[in-house]
């Protein structure tokens, strides 16, 4: 796992460690790690044109001491000071190594000509938009042809949340110290970070439990068939999806479950989507439901399952509400998506249940569930997914540029395999079936949601680039077809 801690916890750990170290030792550790990464990025340190963008905080000191190390190796290091304050000891070390402080009227040309720029304008405590002259220097750095290396977090990115308000540095590499910060993993901040390099400065023993975690392949263990397995032990997932208006959602959600490892898929809907599922997925066991509201015994007609998926393409009328009511009054895990979420927005009382419930909204769907605007959710995804998990008493998988999975009082899971190529019709239906299969296989709700999101993104990447060369556009069926390869890649580590 990659563990991320919010700023308050990082500050407390730094204070505890500094109390045991000689004065300035922690900053020197950070500067040494930063300088080492920068040296690796440059074709040659000697003669390289390096520009430091330095504010008045500790990250400015880190940048200055790192610049001094590069200057001692022959780099031509120049410093642009933003604001009235600067770390005096760091500036003295830089000057002693041969670096110099530029006049303000020299800054733009130096930034444009730099081979490498170190962003130390603000630190992890920075919130809100960048003020001048910081915003101007951030924009110049982002437009420069040189490599941009952010110190701890790109200036203008909220380290704890990933919020970006106004101008922010677009880094090629971010060198972060001690632990990841949530804003490095969550959009929009994550999109400003480039490659993130973690430098160990010794905070580990003083850090509490993380606020956010991002899984690596070894952390995800989807169930594998055992020698004694049969289709029932592998998990039977029931899917209530599709209707006369949206037949594709039925086919795609069943496909996600079939290729997601389910031992059996039981599918129920009105006649037309059932016929399409039979044609595309003959292994699915199907039940035709009459149009209109359903009696309470409808689930008995579908058959015994270990988990339910309800909602994709189902409609939002009385029939959909009666099916949603039926599954949410069971004691089985239930995943609700798409139209099911729209129904839940007017029937939140249905979420008062003890069994696991997984909700898989995008920002627009979540806005109806928790009374927040879509723009507000996109700007502060971490805050809103936590709020949703607490208010709705559910596992919430918030789809989007960064997929987040939240349960109350647990670290938020960040999916690292997301790709913009999933922004195409039907891929969410595939995800629903996939996560439903993992739930039916016995995975806890948060693990099933996080593992499903990981496999879903990985399958999309494999589908888009099955061979070396440019990635190709993909469709939802391409994601289904690539799921077996995604499982193999995950288990291979």
Q: State the Cα–Cα distance between residues 88 and 97, nearest whole angstrom.
A: 14
Is 36 part of any known ligand binding site? Answer: no
Is 129 part of any known ligand binding site? Answer: yes
Is 98 part of any known ligand binding site? Answer: no
- The angle subtended at Cα 149 by Cα 144 and Cα 155, nearest 5°, is 85
SS3 of residue 33 by DSSP: helix
Is 119 part of any known ligand binding site? Answer: yes
Cis peptide before 188 (omega within 30 of 0): yes
Torsion of CA 437, 440, 445, 450, to 10 degrees: -20
Is 424 part of any known ligand binding site? Answer: no
Q: State the Cα–Cα distance between residues 101 and 108, nearest whole angstrom.
A: 13
Is 269 part of any known ligand binding site? Answer: no
Instruction: Please state whether beta strands 195-199 and 173-177 pair in parallel, antiparallel, or not at all (unpaired).
Output: parallel
* Cβ-based burial of 316 (10 A; exposed 0-12, middle 13-18, buried ≥19): middle
Q: State the Cα–Cα distance between residues 382 and 115, nearest whole angstrom.
A: 35
Q: State the Cα–Cα distance between residues 493 and 489, nearest whole angstrom.
A: 6
**Is residue 331 within 8 Å of residue 305, measured between CB atoms?**
no
Q: Which two tokens stand for residue 36?
A: 């080492």
Q: Which residue has the tokens 């890649």?
A: 489
Q: State the Cα–Cα distance between residues 364 and 14, nearest whole angstrom.
A: 39
Is 123 part of any known ligand binding site? Answer: yes
* DSSP for 285-309, written as a single string: EEEEPPSS---TTHHHHH---SEEE
Is 191 part of any known ligand binding site? Answer: no
CA 306 to each of CA 101, 441, 470: distance values in angstroms, whole numbers, following the listed order: 67, 8, 41
* Cβ-based burial of 331 (10 A; exposed 0-12, middle 13-18, buried ≥19): exposed
SS3 of residue 257 by DSSP: helix
Is 429 part of any known ligand binding site? Answer: yes
Is 255 part of any known ligand binding site? Answer: no
Is 478 part of any known ligand binding site? Answer: no
> In this structure, what DSSP letter does residue 189 have?
G
**Is residue 54 within 8 Å of residue 80, measured between CB atoms?**
yes
Is 67 part of any known ligand binding site? Answer: no
Q: State the Cα–Cα distance between residues 17 and 76, nearest whole angstrom.
A: 33
Q: State the Cα–Cα distance between residues 323 and 42, nearest whole angstrom.
A: 61
Strand ranges of the sheet holding 307-310, from the earlier edge strand across to the other edge: 2-4, 212-214, 412-414, 404-406, 395-398, 357-359, 334-336, 307-310, 236-240, 264-269, 285-288
Is 403 part of any known ligand binding site? Answer: yes
Is 9 part of any known ligand binding site? Answer: no
Is 318 part of any known ligand binding site? Answer: no
Cα 400 from chain centroid (whole Å)? 8
Specify binding-site residues for (6S)-NADPHX: 58-62, 123-129, 152, 249, 313, 362, 429
Q: Which residues are annotated as a binding site for K(+)?
A: 59, 119, 155
**Residue positions in the annotated binding site for AMP?**
399-403, 428
Binding annotation: 58-62, 119, 123-129, 152, 155, 249, 313, 362, 399-403, 428-429
């Amino acid at each position: 796992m990659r563990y991320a801690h919010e700023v308050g916890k990082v500050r407390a750990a730094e204070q505890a460690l500094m109390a045991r170290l000689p004065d300035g030792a922690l900053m020197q550790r950070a500067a040494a790690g930063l300088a080492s990464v920068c040296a690796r990025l440059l074709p040659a340190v000697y003669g390289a044109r390096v520009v430091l963008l330095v504010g008045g905080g500790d990250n400015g000191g880190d940048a200055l001491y790192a610049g001094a190390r590069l200057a001692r190796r022959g780099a031509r290091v120049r410093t642009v000071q933003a604001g009235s304050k600067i770390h005096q000891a760091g500036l003295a070390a830089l000057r002693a190594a041969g670096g110099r402080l530029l006049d303000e009227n020299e800054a733009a040309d130096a930034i444009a000509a730099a081979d490498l720029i170190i962003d130390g304008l603000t630190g992890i405590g920075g919130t809100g938009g960048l003020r001048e002259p910081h915003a101007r220097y951030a924009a110049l750095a982002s437009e420069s042809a040189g490599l941009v290396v952010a110190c701890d977090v790109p200036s203008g990115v909220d380290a704890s949340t990933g919020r970006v308000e106004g101008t922010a540095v677009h880094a090629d590499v971010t060198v972060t110290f001690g632990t990841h910060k949530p804003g490095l993993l969550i959009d929009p901040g994550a999109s400003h970070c480039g490659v993130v390099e973690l430098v160990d400065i010794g905070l580990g023993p003083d850090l509490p439990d993380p606020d956010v975690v991002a899984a690596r392949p070894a952390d995800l263990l989807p169930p594998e068939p055992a020698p004694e397995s049969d289709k029932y032990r592998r998990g039977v997932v029931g899917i209530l999806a599709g209707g006369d208006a949206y037949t594709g959602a039925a086919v795609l959600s069943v496909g996600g479950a079939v290729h997601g490892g389910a031992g059996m898929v039981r599918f129920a809907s009105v006649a037309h989507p059932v016929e399409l599922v039979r044609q595309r997925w003959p292994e699915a066991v199907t039940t035709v439901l009459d149009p209109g509201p359903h009696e309470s015994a409808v689930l008995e007609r579908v058959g015994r399952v270990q988990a339910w998926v309800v909602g994709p393409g189902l409609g939002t009328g009385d029939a959909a509400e009666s099916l949603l009511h039926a599954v949410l009054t069971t004691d089985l895990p239930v995943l609700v998506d798409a139209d099911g979420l729209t129904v839940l927005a007017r029937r939140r009382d249905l979420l008062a249940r003890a069994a696991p419930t997984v909700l898989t909204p995008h920002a627009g769907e979540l806005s109806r569930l928790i009374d927040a605007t879509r723009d507000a959710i996109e700007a502060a995804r971490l805050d809103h997914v936590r709020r949703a998990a607490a208010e709705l008493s559910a596992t919430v998988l918030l789809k989007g540029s960064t997929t987040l999975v939240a349960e109350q009082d647990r670290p938020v899971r960040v999916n690292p395999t997301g790709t913009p190529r999933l922004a195409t019709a039907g891929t969410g239906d595939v995800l629903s079936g996939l996560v439903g299969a993992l739930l039916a296989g016995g995975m806890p709700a948060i693990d099933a949601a996080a593992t499903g999101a990981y496999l879903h993104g990985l399958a999309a990447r494999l589908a888009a680039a099955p061979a070396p060369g440019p990635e190709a556009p993909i469709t939802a069926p391409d994601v289904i077809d690539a799921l077996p390869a995604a499982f193999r890649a995950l288990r291979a580590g």
